[in-house]
Every structure is written in structure tokens, then in C-alpha cells.
Structure 1
Amino acid sequence: MAAPPPPDRYEAALLLAAAGDALGFRAGLWEYCTAGARIHEELRALGGLSSIELRPPEWPLSDDTVLHLATAEGLSSGLEGDALLQELARRYVAAMGDMEGRKPGPSSILGTSQLRPGEPQGYRIPFNPTGTGCGAAMRSLAIGLRYPRPEELPMLIRAWDYVEGEGVAVGDNAAAWDFFGDSWRRYLESRGLLEGGGPPRVPSLPTPEERDAEYVRWALGGWAGRSGHDAPMVALEALLAAGDSWEELCSRAVLHGGDNDSTGTIAAGCWGLRWGLSRVPPGMHRHLEYRQRLCDAAHRLHALAWGH
């Protein structure tokens, strides 16, 4: 088995996921900007990434990191099974008290309002036919950090087995199930990745305008990265194209015309796990809101996952 990553890679993963969120959000100014070129112009006026200090009030975390942190801290409790689900529900309800100015989405607001932590199955909420957002995708990095071993992978990807086994809105889920898989098959085929081979065929898309045009082709409702299927696509596309360049990763995954704090959270967190913090300007992470909580959760997750 491959050696586990060092604890500082877990720290980089959570810190840079938060950095991608804060950068893309910019207190709502960039999250709701539909033109990537305008965001890049404003970034140049600020002096570029190396001149930015990501700290509130100008650069607060959005709901994305606050709820991802609830996931990470719940998982780092060491609980399992029903007790873990109750703990996550409790933390999600508590986190919704910390949403002033953070712009949570309608599905997050509705879903957390339906949680009843402490009651039997109080973590279960009704099927939401309009719940097409990217919240679950954007908050799942911590799950992979907690259960990273190859033998744990089947536990993480048996969603349909869970739906059928628990009898959870089976008909509703079945009717909506194929959309995600079909969308990803088309994307992976277009990049030469459907069979797991390589190298990937990633178009260069050198300008913000070209990237916006490509990303919006995958989107629902014209808002690139907003949905659960296309937010990870934007993130993967950026990761494949950027290599070890933090600046290129941000240009492609964070600074585009769409739900860029969410795609930035996904992509930057994965990038941090792979490359660490050494290539990142210190201002991107040293003054982040809730920095210590993110670091503490990262180290607890690493200890639970790898037994150190």
C-alpha cells in the first residue's frame, strides 16, 4: 500500500479549499459575476493573487466552507454509523446560525431546516426534486480525507445500494438517477477518460471567455458550476490543465463566470492535497477566517484515517 500523505497535506487540502471559496466568493462580488474576463480585470487591478490577503471582511468564507467545516468537524469526532449522522445533522443545524452575509443556497436552507438532530433518523430529509445544486459535491472532500484507503472506496460509492437498502424515496431517486451518470459519461468520453486511459484530451482554453463558453455548455440554467454534476467537471478540467501551478488552477477553477466559489472549493482542496502549500502565496491562506478550526480538523481527520 502507498504511504499515507503527511498531515500537512491534509492541512493544505482544507485550507486551500477555503481559499478557493473565499477568493471565488469575494463577499458575493465575484460569485455572482457572470463574466470571467471582468473578474480577471479586477484581479489585475488588485495586483494579482500574490497581492491579496484572504481575510474578512473583504474576503470572508461563504456558506460553502462553513458547511464543509461542519462536515469535517463532524467526521473528525470519530463517531460512526447512526451516531455520526446525528452529529453531522447537529453541526449542520448549528452552522446555519453562522450565515450572515454568506449567501447559502435554497437547498441548503431547506434541507437544514428539515433536520431534527437527536430524534430517530433526524438526519433524514425528504427527497427534493429541485435540489440540483452542488452543495454535496462541494462538501465531500472531508469525507475522502476521513476514508482514504482503497478498501474503503466501495463504501463511498454505493449510493444506489444505500437508497434501495434503506427504501429512501426509491422511485423519486430512480427517476432522477441517470442524469448524473449520463452527463459524466459524455464529459469523460470527450476528454478521452471514459475507459480510464490517458493522456486526457483537455482543450487549452487559454482565455476567460473561452473557458466560460466551455463551462456553460455543461451547466443547468446557464450558471456554470452551480449543479452537482458540473461543479466537479469544472474542477477536474482545471486540475488536469493546471498541473502544479496554483495561479493557473485559480484562473480556471475559481476566476470564471459562474458558481466559482463552489468550483474553487472543490478544485483548490484537491490541488492542496496533491501539491501542498509551498507553491501558494502565503496571503492566500495565512489569514483565512476559521483558519485554526480548519487546521485542527485536518489533523484530527489524518489521525483517524491513518492511525497516527
Structure 2
Amino acid sequence: MELYKAAMVLGGVGDALGYRNSRWERCPSGVAILSELKALGGLEGITVSADEWPVSDNTVMHIVTAETLVSDIWSLTDLYREMVKAYVEIVEQIHKRQPDPATIEGCSQLKPDNYLLGWHTPFNKKGSGFGAATKAMCVGMRYWQPEKLDNLVEVSIECGRMTHNHPTGFLGSLCTALFASYAVQRKPVVEWGREMLKVLNAAETYCRKTIRHMAEYQESWFYFETKWQSYLEERGIAQEGQNTPKFPKIYNAEERDQVYREWSSEGVGGRRGHDAPMIAYDALLSVDNNWTELCNHAMFHGGLGGATGSIAGCLYGLLFGMVDVPKGLYLNLEFREKLEELAAKLHKAANEGEAV
């Protein structure tokens, strides 16, 4: 229970820190961000609150997704109908939080009055953004058991493509849901990436079964897989038994910015569904349970620090709880009580509820 609370809260903290009311997400330099952070007194000198350090749309969308997962539903179809309603209702409230454009476009395509097809959105060539990945950790927390993998795959894909109907987008939601489930299972972090790649076949099988947009998907399906395979090879952990990640001898803020840009599809680290979870994962691999260094790697870089920070913070919470996190970062966090309440409900639903 406490790890679930830490996960939901620290996902919000990571988002608020990396976002910094949109200021740091617009900064192309991690060096400059860390310099500003030092002038603020470092992490110990920050008091995160809704006024100065609001969360972005990442946390808002994670909240509403979690709310649907703990609602009174009888089937996955009912769940999707609830998600459609929730996303349509919340979209007007996230405009001021600099949302992923694909989130706004996707929500505008949802049809809450269509009982059978309300969550079927058109294929979107521009739907490859980070927004599907940042709202799906709760899916993995709800369906964390290995025997519920089919549910995790289906729900993460469907909630992902409601807003990001592009493989690079919705495979990002599958990725973060899987990583959250692996954290709850206590699977070694070094294994997560290659285990995730094994699940992509199940994802493709599910998408083919739904008979929606496979012709369009086919053109870009393997981009996500190829980028992740390349990353795992770069770190020397692509094969079974390779459990010692290899990092550059110099891996400071300037070097990380360069590496993150290279992983990106457009030179902005964390902008897409493949590299937002990749940066968060890389941070966990690199720093283990050091919260300050996790922030340096995943929140404070030249790119979408709110996106990568929300994922990294949530996964850190599932692994380590509130270890070494200054209280000023979370006591006055926007929506903290809501996040803790949802964490308790997710834990109960995951461990005591039915398979739905």
C-alpha cells in the first residue's frame, strides 16, 4: 500500500519538477536547469505547491485514468466507456497545462454517446507523443500479476490509442504499464527492457484481433521496437544474462542531453512514446535508489522533463517508496490527497478485486 502511495505521489512530484510550470520544459539545456536548481537551494530548497510548481497534464491524465480503473465496472468494455467520458470531461481543464497536442486531438475524437464505438479514434500520424505513456503506469499497478498480462496489454493499448492512435504512442503506454507491473513484481530493473520487447508480439496480436488500422500501423510498428532494441544494445543488456549496464565514462548533464537527443525522433528528449519511458528507465538503471540523481537524470534535462519525470518518479516510488525524498517536494503537491486516495483504491482493486 505504501509503495502504491509513493508511486502515485512521486509521479506527480517528478512531473511538477520537470515541468516547472512549463518553464523548464521549454529549456533545451540540462546544464542551465541544474544551474537554476542550485540557485534555488537544490531539491532541499524547493517547496512544491500548486502555485509555483503545478503538475502538468501528465498527472491530470494519470489521475483520471486511475479513477476509471477503480470505478464500479463489470467488463473491460464498461471500463473503456468510463475512460471516454473521463477524457472528454477533463480535456478542457488541461489546456493551460501545456498538454501533448495529440492528447487534445485524441480527446476531441472520442464519442461518449456512441455506446459501441465511442473509444475508436482515427489513426493519427502525429499521435506518437509522450502523453499515452505518462498516463498508463496505473494500468500496470492495477494488473500487475503475470496471470493478468492479457488485461494489461489490452487496457494499456486501448487507453493509449484513445488519445494516441499511433504505434509509437500507444506502445509507450504498454511500456510504462509493463514497467510498473515489473516494479510491483520486484523483477530486476535490468530485465525490464528486454522483457517488454517480448510482449510486443502479444500487443501486435491484440491489435490484429481488433481489426483497426493495421495497414497504417504496419508502416511504423517496428520503429518503437527498433529504437528500444538499439538502446538495450547500447547499454549492453539486450541478451539474457547481460545484467551489467554500460554507461559512458562521462555522463554529466551535457552528455545526457546529447544522448537523449539522439534517442529522440526530433531532437527533443522525451517528446515521443518510445523515448519518454526510455529516459526514465535509463535513469533508474543508472542511479538505483538515489532520488537526487534520479531527478538529475530524468527530471532536469533539455527536453520534456515533466513527461520523463512523471514516469521515473512513479516507478521509483514502486521500487523504493519515499526513500531520501525531501518532504518539501510532496507535502503540498497539487492533488496529493487525491493521488494517495487513488493509490489505496488501486492497491485494493489489484489485490482483492476481480480480474476485470
TM-score range, shorter chain: over 0.9
Structure 1 residue identity aligned to 2:90:
A
Is the aligned partner of 1:51 residue 2:51? no
Q: CA deviation at 1:162?
A: 2.1
Pick aligned residue for 2:138 from 142, 150, 168: 142
Decide whether the 8 Å contact of 1:224 with 1:231 is kept in 2. Answer: yes
Deviation at 1:97, TM superposition (A): 2.4
**1:27 and 2:71 correspond:** no
Instruction: Name the structure 1 match of 2:301.
Output: 256
Partner of 1:128: 124
Is the CA contact (8 Å cut-off) linking 1:116 and 1:122 kept in structure 2? yes
Query: In the aligned structure 1, how far is the partner of 2:249 from the partner of 2:55?
Result: 30
Q: 1 CA distance for matches of 2:244 and 2:150?
A: 26
1:39 maps to 2:84: no
Alignment partner of 1:216 is 2:261:
yes
CA offset digits 1:90-134 (Å, max 9, x no partner): 111111122252011210110000111241220111110121111
Q: How many angstroms does 1:284 deviate by?
A: 1.2
User: Of 328, 331, 334, which residue of structure 2 is paired with 1:283?
Assistant: 328
The question of whether the paired residues in 1 share the 8 Å contact of 2:291 and 2:323 is answered with: no
Equivalent residue, structure 1, for 2:76: 81
CA contact (8 A) 1:202 1:237 kept: no
In the alignment, which of 244, 261, 286 is matched to residue 199 of structure 1? 244
The whole-number CA distance in structure 1 between the counterparts of 2:281 and 2:223 is 19
Corresponding residue number in structure 2 for 1:272: 317
- Aligned-residue offset at 1:278: 3.3
Kindly provide the CA deviation profile for residues 220-277 of structure 1, in whole angstroms up to 9, marking residues without a partner as x.
1111110111111111110011111100000000000001100001111100110001
Q: Would the aligned equivalents of 1:36 and 1:257 in 2 still touch at CA under 8 Å?
A: yes
Name the CA distance, whole Å, in 1 between partners of 2:231 and 2:256: 15
Aligned AA for 1:50? E
Q: Per-residue deviation at 1:189?
A: 1.2
**How far apart in 1 are the matches of 2:256 and 2:262?**
10
- Contact 1:86–1:118 under 8 Å retained in 2: no
Partners in 2 of 1:42 and 1:169 — Cα distance? 45
Instruction: Work out the CA distance in 2 between the residues paired with 1:178 and 1:101.
Output: 34
Aligned CA distance change for structure 1 residues 135 and 150 (closer, same or farther; 3 Å): same
C-alpha separation between the residues in 2 aligned to 1:218 and 1:196?
23
Contact 2:100–2:130, Cα closer than 8 Å, also in 1: no
Q: Which residue of 194, 213, 218 maps to 1:169?
A: 213
Instruction: Look up the equivalent residue of 2:219 and give its one-letter code.
Output: A
| Aligned with residue 103 of structure 1, among 88, 98, 101 | 98
- Does 1 or 2 have the higher relative contact order (CA < 8 Å, sep 6+)? 1
> Which string of whole-angstrom CA distances, capped at 9 and with x for unpartnered residues, describes residues 173-226 of structure 1?
111101011111111111122124311223354421011011111111111110
Q: What are structure 1's unaligned runs of at least 5 residues?
A: 1-6
Cα contact 1:62–1:103 (8 A) shared by 2:
yes
- CA gap 1:124/1:205 in 2 versus in 1, 3 angstroms: farther
Partner of 1:4: none
User: Residue 182 of structure 1: which of 218, 226, 242 is its match?
Assistant: 226
Which amino acid letter does the alignment assign opposite residue 111 of structure 1? G
Q: Percent of aligned positions with the same letter in both sequences?
A: 40
Tell me how far apart the structure 1 counterparts of residues 249 and 349 of structure 2 sit (CA, whole Å): 40
Distance change in 2, residues 1:171/1:100 (3 Å): closer
Q: Which amino acid aligns with 1:123?
A: W
Q: Partners of 1:262 and 1:144 in 2: how far apart? A: 17
Q: How many residues align?
A: 302
TM-score calculated relative to the size of structure 1? 0.95
In 2, Cα distance between equivalents of 1:108 and 1:94: 13
Deviations 1:144-180 (A, max 9, x none): 0000001122442432122211111110011110101
Counterparts of 1:77 and 1:195, CA distance in 2:
40
Three-state SS of the structure 2 residue aligned to 1:101 is helix
Structure 2 distance, partners of 1:189, 1:67, is 32
Change (3 A) 1:11 1:196: farther
Q: Which moved more, 1:147-156 or 1:19-28?
A: 147-156
